[in-house]
Chains A and B, each alone.
Chain A
Amino acid sequence: MFKPKTQEQHGLNIIIVGCGKVGATLVEQLIKEGHDITIIDKSPKKIQAITNTYDIMGLVGNGASYSVLMEAGIEDTDLIIAVTESDELNLLCCTVAKQATDCAAIARVRTPDYSREVGYLREKLGLALIINPELEAAREVARILYLPTALEVNSFAHGQAELIKFQIPKGNLLDGMSIAELGQSYTSGILVCAVERQDELFIPSGDFRLQAGDRMSFVAPRNAARPFLKYIGSKTQRVKDTLIIGGGKAAYYLASRLISAGISVKIIEQDAQRCEELSILLPKAVIINGDGTNEELLKEEGLQYVESFVPLTGIDEENILLTLYAKQVSKAKIITKINRITFKNVINGLDLGSVVYPRYITAEAIIAYVRAKKDSMHSNIETLYHMFDSRAEAIEFLVDKESAVTNIPLMDLPLKKDLLVSFINRNGDILIPSGQDCIKAGDTVMIVTTHTGFHDIQDILK
Chain B
Amino acid sequence: MNSCIIRYILGYILKLEGAFLFLPCIVAVIYRETAGFSYLFVAVVCLVLGLFMTRKKPKNTVFYLKEGCVATALSWILMSVFGALPFCLTGEIPFFIDALFETVSGFTTTGSSILSDIEALSHCSLFWRSFTHWIGGMGILVFLLAIIPLSGGSHMNLMRAESPGPSVGKLVPKLRQTARLLYLIYVGMTIVQIILLLAGNMPLFDSLTITFGTAGTGGFAIKNDSMINYSPYLQWVTTVFMILFGVNFNAYYFLLFRRIGKALRMEEVRCYIIIIVAATAIIAVNTYNTALGAAGTIRHAAFQVASIITTTGYATTDFNLWPEASKTVLVFLMFIGACAGSTGGGVKVSRLVVLVKSIFRELRSYLHPNIVRKVKLDGKPVDSGTISAIHVYFFTLIILFALSLFAVSFDGHDFITNFTAVATTINNVGPGLGMVGPVENFGFFSPFSKIILTFDMLAGRLELFPLLLLFHPSIWRDMSTRRLKDSRKAEKKLAAH
Answer yes or no: do A and B interact. Answer: yes
Interchain CA distance A1-B186 in the complex, whole Å: 14
Interface residues of B in 204-255 (CB under 8 A from A): none
Q: Which residue of B lies closest to A57 (CB)?
A: B173
User: Are B153 and A51 in contact, CB atoms less than 8 angstroms apart?
Assistant: yes
Q: A36-B172, A55-B174 given as contacts; is B155 within 8 A of A1 (CB)?
A: no
A44 at the interface (CB under 8 A from B): yes
Interchain CA distance A53-B152 in the complex, whole Å: 8
Interchain CA distance A199-B152 in the complex, whole Å: 24
B358 at the interface (CB under 8 A from A): no
B156 at the interface (CB under 8 A from A): yes
Q: Which of A38, A55, A345 contacts B153 (CB 8 A)?
A: A55
Q: Which residue of B lies closest to A15 (CB)?
A: B173
B373 at the interface (CB under 8 A from A): no
User: Are A36 and B174 in contact, CB atoms less than 8 angstroms apart?
Assistant: yes
User: Are B147 and A36 in contact, CB atoms less than 8 angstroms apart?
Assistant: no
Q: Which residues of B contact A38 (CB under 8 A)?
A: 173
User: Are B184 and A2 in contact, CB atoms less than 8 angstroms apart?
Assistant: yes
Q: Which residues of A contact B152 (CB under 8 A)?
A: 54-55
A7 CB → nearest B CB, Å: 14
User: Are A52 and B170 in contact, CB atoms less than 8 angstroms apart?
Assistant: no
Q: A31-B153, A199-B497, A345-B497 given as contacts; is B173 within 8 A of A56 (CB)?
A: yes
Q: Which residues of A contact B156 (CB under 8 A)?
A: 51-52, 55
B180 at the interface (CB under 8 A from A): yes
User: Are B153 and A54 in contact, CB atoms less than 8 angstroms apart?
Assistant: yes
Interface residues of A in 37-67 (CB under 8 A from B): 37-38, 44, 51-57
> Can you list, as one digit per residue, whether each of B175-217 has a CB less than 8 Å from chain A (1) or not (0)?
1110010011001000000000000000000000000000000
Q: Which residues of B contact A31 (CB under 8 A)?
A: 153
Q: Which residue of A lies closest to B178 (CB)?
A: A57
B90 at the interface (CB under 8 A from A): no
Interchain CA distance A199-B184 in the complex, whole Å: 46
Q: Which residue of B lies closest to A32 (CB)?
A: B151
Q: Which residues of B contact A55 (CB under 8 A)?
A: 152-153, 155-156, 173-176
Interchain CA distance A306-B184 in the complex, whole Å: 67
> Can you list, as one digit per residue, whether each of A277-292 has a CB less than 8 Å from chain B (1) or not (0)?
0000000000000000
A162 CB → nearest B CB, Å: 30
User: Are B177 and A36 in contact, CB atoms less than 8 angstroms apart?
Assistant: yes
> Can you list, as one digit per residue, whether each of B125-168 has a CB less than 8 Å from chain A (1) or not (0)?
00000000000000000000011000011111100000000000
Interchain CA distance A53-B65 in the complex, whole Å: 11
Interface residues of B in 468-497 (CB under 8 A from A): 496-497
Interchain CA distance A13-B172 in the complex, whole Å: 10
B383 at the interface (CB under 8 A from A): yes
Q: Say which size band chain B's interface belongs to.
A: 20 to 34
Q: Which of B169, B173, B497 contacts A37 (CB 8 A)?
A: B173
Interchain CA distance A1-B19 in the complex, whole Å: 16
User: Are B154 and A1 in contact, CB atoms less than 8 angstroms apart?
Assistant: no
Interchain CA distance A345-B494 in the complex, whole Å: 12
B133 CB → nearest A CB, Å: 21
Q: Which of B169, B174, B180 contacts A2 (CB 8 A)?
A: B180
B256 CB → nearest A CB, Å: 12
A133 CB → nearest B CB, Å: 24
A250 CB → nearest B CB, Å: 30
Interface residues of A in 278-337 (CB under 8 A from B): none
User: Are A57 and B170 in contact, CB atoms less than 8 angstroms apart?
Assistant: yes
Interchain CA distance A320-B497 in the complex, whole Å: 23
Q: Which residues of B contact A345 (CB under 8 A)?
A: 497
B3 CB → nearest A CB, Å: 21
> Can you list, as one digit per residue, whether each of B367-385 has a CB less than 8 Å from chain A (1) or not (0)?
0000000000000000100
User: Are A52 and B383 in contact, CB atoms less than 8 angstroms apart?
Assistant: no
B182 CB → nearest A CB, Å: 11
User: Are A53 and B173 in contact, CB atoms less than 8 angstroms apart?
Assistant: no
Interchain CA distance A345-B156 in the complex, whole Å: 27
Interchain CA distance A52-B155 in the complex, whole Å: 9
Q: Which residues of B contact A57 (CB under 8 A)?
A: 169-170, 172-173
Q: A36-B172, A44-B383, A345-B497 given as contacts; is B180 within 8 A of A53 (CB)?
A: no
Q: Which residues of A contact B496 (CB under 8 A)?
A: 199
Interchain CA distance A258-B113 in the complex, whole Å: 82
Interchain CA distance A143-B383 in the complex, whole Å: 48
Q: A36-B173, A53-B153, A55-B175 given as contacts; is B180 within 8 A of A1 (CB)?
A: yes
Interchain CA distance A55-B178 in the complex, whole Å: 11
B148 CB → nearest A CB, Å: 12
B257 CB → nearest A CB, Å: 9
User: Are B172 and A52 in contact, CB atoms less than 8 angstroms apart?
Assistant: no
Most chain A beta-carbon neighbours within 10 Å: one of B146, B153, B497: B153
Interchain CA distance A56-B155 in the complex, whole Å: 11
Q: Which residue of B lies closest to A11 (CB)?
A: B174
Q: Which residues of B contact A56 (CB under 8 A)?
A: 153, 173
Q: Which residues of A contact B177 (CB under 8 A)?
A: 10, 36
Q: Which residues of A contact B172 (CB under 8 A)?
A: 36, 57
Interchain CA distance A55-B157 in the complex, whole Å: 11
User: Are A53 and B154 in contact, CB atoms less than 8 angstroms apart?
Assistant: yes
Q: Which residue of A lies closest to B160 (CB)?
A: A52
Q: Which residue of A lies closest to B151 (CB)?
A: A55
Interchain CA distance A199-B173 in the complex, whole Å: 35
Interchain CA distance A51-B175 in the complex, whole Å: 11
Interchain CA distance A36-B173 in the complex, whole Å: 5
A12 CB → nearest B CB, Å: 11
Would you list 20 pairs from A and B whose C-beta atoms are within 8 A, ordered by A residue? Answer: A1-B146, A1-B180, A2-B183, A2-B184, A2-B187, A10-B177, A13-B173, A31-B153, A36-B172, A36-B174, A44-B383, A51-B153, A52-B156, A54-B152, A55-B156, A55-B176, A56-B153, A57-B172, A199-B496, A345-B497
Across the A-B interface, the 6 shortest Cβ-Cβ residue pairs = A54-B153, A55-B153, A36-B173, A57-B173, A2-B184, A57-B170
Question: Knowing that A36-B177, A44-B383, A53-B153 are A-B contacts, what are 9 other residue pairs whose CB atoms are under 8 Å apart, sorted by A's residue number?
Answer: A13-B173, A36-B172, A36-B173, A36-B174, A51-B156, A55-B175, A57-B170, A57-B173, A199-B496
Partner-A contacts on B (CB < 8 A): 146-147, 152-157, 169-170, 172-177, 180, 183-184, 187, 383, 496-497
